[in-house]
Amino acid sequence: MRTLQIDIETYSGIDLLKAGVYKYVDSPHFEILLFGYAFDDDPITVIDLTDFEELPEDVIAALADPAITKTAFNANFERTCIAKHFGIVCDPTQWQCTAVWARALGLPGNLEKAAEALGLETQKDARGKNLIKYFSYPCKPTKANGGRTRNYPYHDPEKWQQYINYNRQDVVVEREIRRALAKYPLPDSEWLLWALDQTINDTGVLMDAVIAKNAIECNEIFISNAIANAKSLTGLDNPNSLTQLKNWLADQGVETPDGIRKENITDLIETAPTAEVKKVLELRRDTGKTSVGKYEAMERSVCSDDRIRGVFKFYGAGTGRWSGQIFQPQNLPQNKIPDLADARSVLRSGDFEMLEMLYGAPPFVLSQLIRTALTPKPGCRFIVADFSAIEARVIAWLADENWALEVFRTTGKIYEAAAAQMFKVPVETIVKGHVNYDLRARGKVATLGLGYAMGATKFKDTAEKSYHIDFTEGEAKDIVAKWRSANKNIVKPWYAVEKAAQRATQDKVTVDVAHGVRFRYAPGILFAELPGGRSLAYQKPRLEIQEKFQKNGLVFNTPKKGTMLKESTYGGKLVENLVQAIARDCLAVSMMKLTEEGYNIVMHVHDEVIIEAPEGTGSVENVTAIMGQPIPWAPRLPLKAAGYECDFYMKD
């Protein structure tokens, strides 16, 4: 199959990094300036669209030809821009993204850093950032530039020629990266999944503009009033100043050696010597909560049709899981207030005084209402469904922990069953009203936290921070010991997987683990092959003495903050990688099945899908049944999903 390598340079009045490419191309000022391309190994051509040059007919034809693979580094950008500029459909099934390919191989998703990590002789032109800033961004009007707000090629022909050369060089580098990656092709199933990801990003989700606008306005009013109140109480010029506030508190007899942070402000409030000090600290707590950042990100990125697009990053994590961008849908606050619809209605009405009177300080309720700003289009509703205890199911399957698998195939009450196994009590007694019911919480936190070799100290901290359960050190050690004793088959892979990865690295061989998982060494890369047909990649693996464990351990290079840094790992962490990767692949299979059934997925968060379904079509029962279907490459893995319908996005 022929390949068309593409790189473009563009202009828009929208900040690409803050708003995303879909809002970027939605600007009336958007245009493609330069179009660099090359078929296969042919010479590279740059078309200057600002000079009235046109794309050759063979390139225009190739953009719609399924027999020609279009490829770019971060192809979502090229696809979206080309579709908008030329008014054509850029079918994602005809495209491949070398940034995705690089991330899947444990390399940086940044063009310059990927080229460096691969050790290519050809590197990205370092002058690019300044040229992009000059020609692709609006400029500040000054007397020197005649008050213009944009630089055109004729304003600096020499720089423009450099920009053309820069564009050509990017095509060179991108093609060299693709050639280097070609030794390790991704499965066709991953490219089909990426195409679905592109469709989901292209579709986007509807935003209730009134909710977002009112949330931002409500927060501004609250913050302004709170600061005025704090000024009145303290007499400070700026009560937001940490230094000024700490000095004032010291004058009131309150010492703050640990600062005034989220972690300790509750204790400071509870021990406040006067009502005045307590009120000031409460105002500090309430104004310190970031509650509207996501609303602001939504407003920045929403397109002219009120839909937000491009919020999912394919292969955003090394396990292959998606990550979020723009308003970060993967870490939205949960909603826990019981009358969520009423609170949403009050916010939408603009009655901010009523909102505060009914629900307390606005930052807290606004945080819980963030999800509700996302809605289905008129005539539709959301069907939301997610896997039940997916990681616990996968690790039990991978380890052949048969008692847990039997629970998942029958009652599904894994927390109760885990507690019964750990504390040697009848599972029937772990019910509300019985003295043993308190053991369920211990079974839950143990099941969710101990599958990856977590020690007692970290378990104690995790239980406190994530589940608000306080254990003594002795209790934490006891729970860890009891859980490991009750789950001996889950403990075994921690050591077996570590041994397999180390042997594959040291002896440069392939080592089988279980259920289709195996470690395979290739020049410079350790692959963890998964039952679904893809692999995790660990770059430049080697064995080194790990200071933390004082023994030989597996070390590899991984992309962090745009560059490759050393990271050490161990059996529990490797098992966590495998389990999360397999869980991701289960979600991927379900997403493909749901799409084939005609469901329109507009979002997916962790192990959850959000479907925009026209009234009278589809059902929760059908969606969860599809998600619970057996997967051919994971025989006997018991999957189950639960779901609900809603008129705005929420956590049930």
- Confidence at residue 532, expressed as pLDDT on a 0 to 100 scale: 97
Band the pLDDT of 121: cuts 50, 70, 90: confident
Give the residue from 133, 36, 619, 637 showing the smallest Cα distance to 381: 619
* Concatenated DSSP letters of 158-192: HHHHHHHHHHHHHHHHHHHHHHHHTTSPPPHHHHH
Does position 40 have pLDDT exceeding 90, yes or no? yes
Residues 6+ apart with CB under 8 A from 59: 4, 35, 37
Determine contact, residues 527/556, Cβ cutoff 8 Å: no
Residues 6+ apart with CB under 8 A from 617: 598
- Confidence at residue 516, expressed as pLDDT on a 0 to 100 scale: 96
- Confidence at residue 240, expressed as pLDDT on a 0 to 100 scale: 80
Average pLDDT, rounded, for the chain: 93
Does position 380 have pLDDT exceeding 80, yes or no? yes
Q: How confident is the model over 218-276, as pLDDT tens digits?
A: 999 988 888 888 888 888 888 787 888 888 888 787 777 777 777 677 777 887 788 88
Band the pLDDT of 612: cuts 50, 70, 90: very high
Q: What is the C-alpha to C-alpha distance for residues 99 and 262, in angstroms, rounded to an integer?
A: 38
Q: Write 512-520 long-range contacts (CB < 8 A, 24+).
A: 514/398, 514/399, 514/400, 515/397, 515/398, 515/634, 516/633, 517/398, 517/578
Residues 6+ apart with CB under 8 A from 38: 4, 5, 44, 45, 171, 175
Q: Which is more confident, 561 or 335?
A: 335
- Confidence at residue 232, expressed as pLDDT on a 0 to 100 scale: 83
Q: How confident is the model over 342-377, as pLDDT tens digits?
A: 999 999 999 999 999 999 889 889 999 999 999 999
Give the residue from 71, 10, 5, 13 showing the smallest Cα distance to 40: 5
What does residue 286 show for φ and ψ, rounded to 5 degrees? Answer: -70, -40
Q: What is the CA radius of gyration of the chain?
A: 28
Q: What is the C-alpha to C-alpha distance for residues 360 and 550, in angstroms, rounded to an integer?
A: 52
**Alpha helices per DSSP H over 410-511:** 414-423, 439-449, 456-467, 473-486, 488-507
Bridging pattern class, strands 307-308 and 312-313: unpaired
Q: What is the C-alpha to C-alpha distance for residues 127 and 133, in angstroms, rounded to an integer?
A: 10
Q: What is the C-alpha to C-alpha distance for residues 251 and 273, in angstroms, rounded to an integer?
A: 12
Q: What is the C-alpha to C-alpha distance for residues 290 and 596, in angstroms, rounded to an integer?
A: 40
Q: What is the C-alpha to C-alpha distance for residues 429 and 83, in angstroms, rounded to an integer?
A: 61
What does residue 177 show for φ and ψ, rounded to 5 degrees? Answer: -65, -45
Q: What is the C-alpha to C-alpha distance for residues 467 and 461, in angstroms, rounded to an integer?
A: 10
Torsional class of 20: left (φ above 0), alpha (ψ -120 to 50), beta (otherwise): left
For 479, the token pair is 């729970």
Per cent of the chain over pLDDT 90 is: 79
Q: How confident is the model over 137-174, as pLDDT tens digits?
A: 999 999 989 899 999 999 999 999 999 999 999 999 99
Q: What is the C-alpha to C-alpha distance for residues 260 and 277, in angstroms, rounded to an integer?
A: 13
For 326, the token pair is 């723009």
Q: Which is more confident, 295 or 336?
A: 295
- Confidence at residue 291, expressed as pLDDT on a 0 to 100 scale: 72
Q: What is the C-alpha to C-alpha distance for residues 79 and 627, in angstroms, rounded to an integer?
A: 30
- Confidence at residue 226, expressed as pLDDT on a 0 to 100 scale: 84
Report the Cα–Cα distance between both ends of the chain, in Å, rounded: 48
Cα–chain center distance at 468 = 25
Q: Within 13 Å, how many C-alpha atoms sit on residue 570's CB side?
A: 12
Rounded mean pLDDT of 564-575? 94
**Three-state secondary structure call for residue 562:** coil
Rounded mean pLDDT of 589-594? 98
Band the pLDDT of 399: cuts 50, 70, 90: very high
Cα–chain center distance at 130 = 30
Band the pLDDT of 325: cuts 50, 70, 90: very high
Q: What is the C-alpha to C-alpha distance for residues 555 and 581, in angstroms, rounded to an integer?
A: 20
Q: How confident is the model over 180-225, as pLDDT tens digits?
A: 999 999 999 999 999 999 999 999 999 999 999 999 999 999 888 8
Q: What is the C-alpha to C-alpha distance for residues 534 and 100, in angstroms, rounded to an integer?
A: 14
**What stretch of H or E contains 402?**
helix 402-409
Q: What is the C-alpha to C-alpha distance for residues 445 and 459, in angstroms, rounded to an integer?
A: 9
Does position 329 have pLDDT exceeding 80, yes or no? yes
Q: Is the dihedral of CA 364, 368, 371, 377 positive or negative?
A: negative
Q: How confident is the model over 617-649, as pLDDT tens digits?
A: 999 999 999 999 999 999 999 999 999 999 999
Cα–chain center distance at 66 = 31
Determine contact, residues 427/420, Cβ cutoff 8 Å: yes
Question: What does each C-alpha distance from 23 to 26, 86, 213, 299, 311 come to in angstroms?
Answer: 5, 17, 18, 10, 11
**What stretch of H or E contains 147?**
none
Residues 6+ apart with CB under 8 A from 419: 425, 427, 430, 436, 439, 440, 442, 443, 446
Residues 6+ apart with CB under 8 A from 123: 112, 115, 116, 173
Q: How confident is the model over 466-524, as pLDDT tens digits?
A: 888 888 999 999 999 999 999 999 999 999 999 999 999 999 999 999 999 999 999 99
**Tell me, what DSSP letter sits at residue 333?**
P
What does residue 381 show for φ and ψ, rounded to 5 degrees? Answer: -140, 165
**Tell me, what DSSP letter sits at residue 318?**
T
**What stretch of H or E contains 597?**
none
Residue 53's CB: how many other CB atoms inside 10 A? 12
Q: What is the C-alpha to C-alpha distance for residues 414 and 486, in angstroms, rounded to an integer?
A: 13
Bridging pattern class, strands 374-375 and 307-308: unpaired
Determine contact, residues 5/95, Cβ cutoff 8 Å: no
Question: What does each C-alpha distance from 536 to 42, 88, 187, 532, 601 come to in angstroms?
Answer: 33, 35, 12, 11, 26
- Confidence at residue 503, expressed as pLDDT on a 0 to 100 scale: 97
